[in-house]
Chains A and B, each alone.
Chain A
């Protein structure tokens, strides 16, 4: 199976900060990479698909980039509602795999 590794595992940031989360795949997955946000007790929510395409309704402060094995999720100006867990997920192989998650909390 394709292994997905996120970094950092957690980070502390302030409202207004620019935040970057990285995701690395164990082999090339081209642009088959999606990002989700999950808040405590809730289902995940799709943010970005196909590495850089913003899901409808998601604020434009979220952006994604990368291809091959290295990907980035950027939040340009962190808002109070953005404190959450973030997961990357590859959709290149039939068996989808997720990164272990990055927790973004308040500094």
Chain B
């Protein structure tokens, strides 16, 4: 089955760190860009970052630049979002999504993992 599955969410104090993982199955992972999209409770969707199929390019929304980093391990079919210096406003469900070039739409989504930043 073609799918993405996020893990690693949880409760963290402000200023803390968390690493999210996105595991892919059922398709040739190394051919695709992957994005992270988040959704604060009861709010809309916000694109966070994406990474090229070979990891050579990465892009971030301004609000997480310098705090979040992205990496991928193609042999393990996984992408990792390292989140440092977390703030209350980072509280959200984080989804990973397959990012389809050249029209740049998200055609496959994981179920999401909840990150709560609170003391």
Question: When chains A and B are docked, how far (Å) is the Cα of A89 from the Cα of B99?
Answer: 13
Inside 8 A of A50's CB, which chain B residues have their CB? 103, 105
Q: Does B61 contact A (CB under 8 A)?
A: yes
User: How many residues in A have their beta carbons less than 8 Å from beta carbons of B?
Assistant: 25
B interface SS class: strand
Inside 8 A of A32's CB, which chain B residues have their CB? 103-104
A101 in contact with B44 given A32-B103, A49-B103, A91-B103 (CB within 8 Å): yes
- Chain A nearest CB from B49 CB (Å) reads 10
Inter-chain contact total with CB atoms closer than 8 Å: 58
Question: When chains A and B are docked, how far (Å) is the Cα of A44 from the Cα of B47?
Answer: 13
Inside 8 A of B76's CB, which chain A residues have their CB? none
Question: When chains A and B are docked, how far (Å) is the Cα of A99 from the Cα of B44?
Answer: 8
Q: Does A96 contact B (CB under 8 A)?
A: yes
Interface string of A94-106 (1 = CB under 8 A from B): 1111111100000
- Chain B nearest CB from A32 CB (Å) reads 7
Q: Does B45 contact A (CB under 8 A)?
A: yes
Q: Which of A30-55 contact B (CB under 8 A)?
A: 32, 34, 36, 38, 42-46, 49-50, 53, 55
